[in-house]
């Protein structure tokens, strides 16, 4: 046993002064070893919690009422209590928090969320746990207040070493605010990639910054003496948990393989809690990977080609052009008679990714594809659509500035022409002569309902004297701010990155419903007609929703065509591939 080099002073036994003084006398190497031992213990506890692997390497086992046995990953705590340890609410089922603050810190005010489905049950108080009392509760299913826990909670007969490791992990889990957060401020960043058109960049930043300024203008922090408070929840005001936002603009430069280093430098200079929205017209993969590796939420960026592999921290509106490729593939496969698809696209990250994905999907079912690439400096010409037949389908993965050149080209005699709504918006750049056989893959709400849903957004633009430059882009930026405001408000003082993602999963569908009901009540109070019609969404998308591990909020698209007057008309139901 290590001994200090000098005798301990005569201080009352058990005094914290003895502990602090004794620790200060230990060599730095010993302190490092103690820190390393604790880190190893926490790592072992993390494996139990997240993977269901005990300190011995054996699988965690548990049993529920009714002799339902669980083992390994199925038995892991994370399945119910989530990454953050903050639990969840699913219907009538309440999974309480099990973090350090909620289990071991009885002196701190513990209010985990204002989720209206939980009522007061979610925030019940209990005596502080010890490692022993927690082990007993986990083994028997009875908490330290003598109450039986949920029948869904398995009983785990953990040994002392495993319990020590799990307790060490839980004691540090979601106990301190995430980086970028203090008592009065949350630092956020938005990322803009270098190829973005200057006009779109300005429209995006103007919308995002005005929305953040408005949010801050209605925020009452704990030290504010006066000011208008938006009263998102009464608990915000009572507990003083609201914070001002500081938005940092992270504009990337150069080639995409340098972006990760740029982002890491920016994060080192200014830690941020989350990336708020974001804008790209090329690849988003380096930003996505940066967020995943640094455990930073990426909050609904506007990007036409998001990363579609499984992730935790990155939340998107949709799969962009990859979704459109899936919708088209499903449509063409169901038609049976299609033998070949000709894809016309630029050699850029977005349209190339869409064309590649569609080719792979169609090749699997025997439909051939041919890619015709428009090189840099070239324009769409008659050569792009030569040698096509009546049996062919042509898909244009092109933006508005390319489609305007089609007025110089006669439309080919083909089975059908398809265009991307993600790249062209409402398709108004499609030339009149081409509209007869043109079909638009349309990932947004139908035009009339879309305008109704965005009534408040358009009124907001007008009030801020902002021009409508790009409706999908500006509506997405506005929605990202609004939804982050609601989510943080409900999280109260539990400002943890993992919890933010988990609350988004739970809140997104409910958020739109609540907003729609509020708008209906407002219309009724004003005596407006149609006040009884409940809108499905308050965004540019018809349906937004996330489930556990889902990362794409809008999951489908319509197929549209043009009538003789050039008006878009729907030709399909909402297609979810």
How open is the CA angle 151-154-158, to the nearest 5 degrees? 150
Identify the pLDDT of residue 439. 96
CA torsion angle for 86, 89, 90, 95 (degrees, to 10)? 60
Query: What distance in Å separates the CA atoms of residue 505 and residue 423, rounded to the nearest whole number?
Result: 27
Task: For the full predicted model, state whether its pTM sits above 0.85.
Answer: yes
* CATH code for the structural domain at 321-442+557-570: 3.40.50.2300
Query: What distance in Å separates the CA atoms of residue 482 and residue 41, rounded to the nearest whole number?
Result: 40
Identify the pLDDT of residue 336. 72
The residues near 417 (Cβ < 8 Å, ≥ 6 apart) are 393, 394, 396, 411, 434, 437, 438, 439
- Strands (E) in 170-212, as ranges, are 185-192
Residue 268's CB: how many other CB atoms inside 10 A?
A: 8
CB 95 within 8 A of CB 108: no
> What residue spans of 226-348 are helical by DSSP H?
234-239, 259-269, 285-294, 321-335
Identify the pLDDT of residue 190. 98
Domain with CATH 3.40.50.2300 in the chain: 185-316+452-493, 321-442+557-570
Per-residue model confidence as pLDDT tens for the chain (577 residues): 333 333 434 444 444 444 444 445 555 554 455 577 789 999 999 999 999 999 999 999 999 875 668 999 999 999 999 999 998 877 677 788 999 988 988 666 566 665 655 554 545 567 889 999 999 999 998 888 888 887 788 999 899 999 999 999 999 999 999 999 999 999 999 999 999 999 999 999 999 999 999 999 988 665 554 444 444 455 555 456 789 999 999 999 999 999 999 999 999 999 999 999 999 999 999 999 999 999 999 999 999 999 999 999 999 999 999 999 999 999 999 987 898 999 999 999 999 999 999 999 999 999 999 999 998 888 888 888 899 999 999 999 999 989 988 888 889 999 999 999 999 988 889 989 999 899 999 999 999 899 999 999 999 999 999 999 999 999 999 999 999 999 999 888 899 999 999 999 988 987 655 454 444 444 455 555 444 444 445 799 998 999 999 999 999 999 999 999 999 999 999 999 9
CB 111 within 8 A of CB 239: yes
Query: What distance in Å separates the CA atoms of residue 549 and residue 551, rounded to the nearest whole number?
Result: 6
Identify the pLDDT of residue 125. 64
Identify the pLDDT of residue 569. 95
* Residue 251 C-alpha from the chain's centroid: 21
Give the fold, CATH level 3, of 185-316+452-493: Rossmann fold (3.40.50)
Two structure tokens written together for 183: 């008592």
CA distances from 170 to 49, 100, 130, 151 (A): 9, 5, 12, 22
Query: What distance in Å separates the CA atoms of residue 245 and residue 180, rounded to the nearest whole number?
Result: 10
Query: What distance in Å separates the CA atoms of residue 66 and residue 129, rounded to the nearest whole number?
Result: 28
Exposed e or buried b for every residue in 27-54, given b needs 16+ CB within 10 A? eeeeeeeeeeeeeebbebbbbbbebbbb
Query: What distance in Å separates the CA atoms of residue 3 and residue 23, rounded to the nearest whole number?
Result: 10
């Amino acid at each position: 046993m290590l001994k200090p080099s000098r005798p301990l002073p005569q201080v009352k036994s058990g005094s914290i002064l003895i502990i602090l003084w004794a620790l200060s006398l230990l060599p730095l190497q010993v302190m490092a070893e103690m820190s390393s031992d604790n880190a190893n213990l926490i790592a072992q506890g993390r494996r139990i919690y997240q993977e269901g692997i005990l300190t011995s390497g054996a699988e965690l086992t548990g049993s529920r009422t009714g002799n339902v046995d669980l083992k390994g990953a199925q038995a892991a705590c994370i399945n119910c209590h989530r990454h953050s340890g903050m639990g969840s609410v699913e219907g009538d089922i309440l999974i309480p928090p099990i973090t350090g603050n909620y289990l071991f810190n009885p002196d701190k005010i513990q209010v985990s969320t204002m989720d209206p489905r939980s009522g007061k049950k979610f925030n019940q108080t209990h005596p502080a746990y010890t490692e022993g009392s927690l082990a007993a509760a986990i083994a028997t299913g009875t908490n330290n207040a003598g109450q039986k826990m949920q029948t869904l909670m398995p009983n785990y007969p953990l040994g002392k070493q495993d319990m020590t490791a799990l307790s060490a992990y839980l004691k540090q889990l979601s106990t301190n605010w995430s980086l970028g957060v203090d008592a009065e401020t949350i630092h956020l960043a938005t990322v803009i990639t270098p190829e973005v058109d200057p006009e779109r960049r300005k429209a995006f930043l103007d919308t995002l910054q005005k929305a953040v300024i408005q949010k801050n203008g209605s925020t009452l922090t704990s030290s504010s003496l006066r000011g208008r408070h938006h009263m998102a929840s009464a608990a915000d005001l009572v507990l003083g948990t609201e914070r001002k936002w500081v938005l940092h603009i992270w504009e990337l430069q150069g080639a995409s393989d340098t972006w990760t280093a740029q982002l890491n430098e920016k994060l080192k200079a200014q830690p941020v809690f989350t990336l708020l929205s974001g804008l790209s017209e090329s690849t988003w993969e380096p930003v996505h990977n940066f967020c995943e590796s640094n455990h930073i939420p990426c909050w609904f960026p506007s990007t036409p080609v998001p990363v579609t592999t499984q992730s935790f921290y990155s939340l998107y509106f949709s799969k962009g052009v990859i979704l459109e490729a899936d919708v088209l593939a499903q449509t063409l496969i169901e038609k049976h008679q299609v033998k070949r698809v000709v894809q016309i696209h630029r050699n850029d990250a977005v349209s190339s990714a869409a064309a590649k994905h569609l080719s792979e999907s169609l090749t699997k079912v025997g439909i051939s594809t041919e890619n015709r690439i428009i090189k840099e400096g070239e324009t769409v010409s008659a050569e792009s659509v030569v040698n096509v037949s009546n049996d062919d389908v042509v898909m244009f993965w092109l933006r508005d500035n390319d489609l305007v050149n089609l007025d110089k080209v006669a439309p080919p005699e083909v089975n059908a022409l398809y265009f991307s709504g993600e790249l062209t918006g409402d398709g108004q750049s499609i030339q009149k002569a081409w509209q007869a056989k043109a079909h638009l893959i349309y990932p947004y709400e139908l035009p009339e309902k879309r305008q109704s849903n965005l009534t408040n957004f358009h009124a907001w633009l007008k009030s801020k004297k902002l021009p409508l430059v790009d409706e999908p882009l500006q509506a997405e930026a506005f929605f990202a701010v609004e939804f982050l405001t609601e989510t943080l408000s409900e999280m109260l003082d539990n400002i943890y990155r993992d919890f933010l993602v988990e609350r988004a999963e739970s809140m997104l569908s409910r958020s739109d419903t609540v907003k729609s009901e509020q708008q209906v009540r407002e219309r009724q109070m004003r005596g407006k007609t149609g006040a009884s019609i409940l809108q499905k969404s308050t965004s540019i998308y018809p349906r937004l929703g996330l489930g556990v591990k889902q990362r794409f909020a809008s999951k489908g698209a319509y197929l549209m065509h043009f009538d003789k007057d050039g008006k878009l008309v729907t030709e399909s139901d909402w297609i979810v591939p």
